[in-house]
């Protein structure tokens, strides 16, 4: 360390003093540089780790998609014997839920319905939140040819024993209107009559109200959801109390083998209904 002298006014002497401030400042700058380098290296390392994880996940999903595509091809080709004999009697009513954006792919929907008809499904409910398929109902029915509206077909209709498929078109607005009508009915019944006891509204009371206004639609046994979201997209809740829900992926990537596999898996499951 360098030493320099300072004149002390009180003592009149030159007092030696160590020159350390500059050295400390220089050391602090070096520490700051090291810390800055460590921080930059940490950021680069995290970015590389993030890229590697994304790459691994992307490769994994790519491999899964290839395996599913091969499996779907083998199933649709009939090479897997266990998928040949489907007990379609367990799927008396099938619901197809499609995201509204994907529901505009009319050709895909028609292809899907033809697959279902070939498998042997007789009754299908088509649902999308915005009612896109209801707007194209006539076009879908015309291009299918062997389809009837569910309200035109009775339970014992001989058409159901042939190659015809009964279709029901539902949107979120249908369920909303049904709930509003049922709520008005309950309000008139329990609140306009001032001396009547107000009950705690339960599921059974709501179901009775829906039946009273004519909303007695069939409950689907199985629901297949096509779209990016893994949910029923607002399908009327009172109709899916015992419904099995399966997410099938995007409509544009649908495969006949995957459809057969989902239906076969449902038919092989034993269902126990509690009280």
pLDDT tens profile 101-151:
999 999 999 999 999 998 989 999 999 999 999 999 999 998 888 888 887
- pLDDT beyond 90 at 181: no
More confident call, 5 vs 55: 55
More confident call, 232 vs 12: 232
Instruction: Sort strands 147-149 and 94-98 into parallel, antiparallel or unpaired.
Output: unpaired
Q: How far apart are CA 157 and CA 38, in angstroms?
A: 77
Instruction: Give the pLDDT band (50/70/90) at residue 154.
Output: low
Residue 4 per-residue DSSP state: E
Instruction: Give the pLDDT band (50/70/90) at residue 6.
Output: very low
Average pLDDT on 16-28 reads 54
Tell me the three state secondary structure of residue 245: strand
Q: pLDDT value at position 157?
A: 58
- For 139, phi then psi, to 5°, come to -65, -40
More confident call, 236 vs 44: 236
Instruction: Give the pLDDT band (50/70/90) at residue 1.
Output: very low
Tally helices (H) and strands (E) across the chain. Answer: 7, 8
Dihedral sign computed on CA atoms, order 78, 70, 227, 248: positive
Taking only the tens place, the pLDDT of each residue in 197-235 is: 777 777 778 878 888 887 777 889 999 999 998 888 989
Instruction: Give the pLDDT band (50/70/90) at residue 30.
Output: confident
């Amino acid at each position: 360390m360098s030493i320099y002298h300072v004149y002390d006014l009180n003592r009149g002497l030159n007092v030696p003093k160590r020159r350390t401030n500059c050295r400390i400042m220089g050391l602090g700058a070096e520490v700051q540089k090291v810390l800055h380098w460590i921080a930059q290296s940490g950021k680069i390392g995290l970015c590389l780790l993030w890229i590697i994880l994304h790459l691994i996940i992307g490769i994994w999903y790519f491999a899964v998609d290839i395996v599913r595509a091969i499996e779907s091809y083998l199933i649709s080709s009939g090479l897997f014997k266990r998928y040949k004999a489907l007990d379609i009697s367990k799927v008396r009513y099938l619901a197809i839920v499609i995201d509204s954006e994907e529901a505009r792919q009319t050709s895909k929907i028609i292809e899907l319905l033809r697959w279902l008809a070939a498998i042997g499904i007789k009754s299908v409910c088509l649902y999308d939140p915005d009612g896109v398929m209801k707007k194209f109902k006539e076009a879908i029915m015309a291009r299918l040819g062997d389809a009837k509206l569910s309200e035109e077909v009775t339970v014992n209709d001989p058409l159901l024993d042939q190659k015809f498929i009964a279709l029901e078109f539902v949107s979120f607005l249908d369920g909303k209107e049904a709930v509003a009508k049922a709520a008005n009915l309950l309000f008139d019944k329990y609140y306009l009559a001032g001396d009547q006891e107000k009950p705690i509204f339960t599921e059974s009371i709501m179901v009775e109200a829906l039946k009273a206004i004519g909303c007695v639609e069939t409950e689907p046994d199985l629901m297949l959801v096509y779209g990016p979201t893994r949910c029923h997209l607002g399908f009327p809740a009172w109709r899916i109390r015992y419904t099995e829900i399966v997410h099938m992926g995007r409509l544009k990537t649908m495969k006949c083998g995957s459809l057969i596999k989902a239906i076969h898996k449902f038919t092989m499951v034993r269902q126990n209904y509690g009280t």
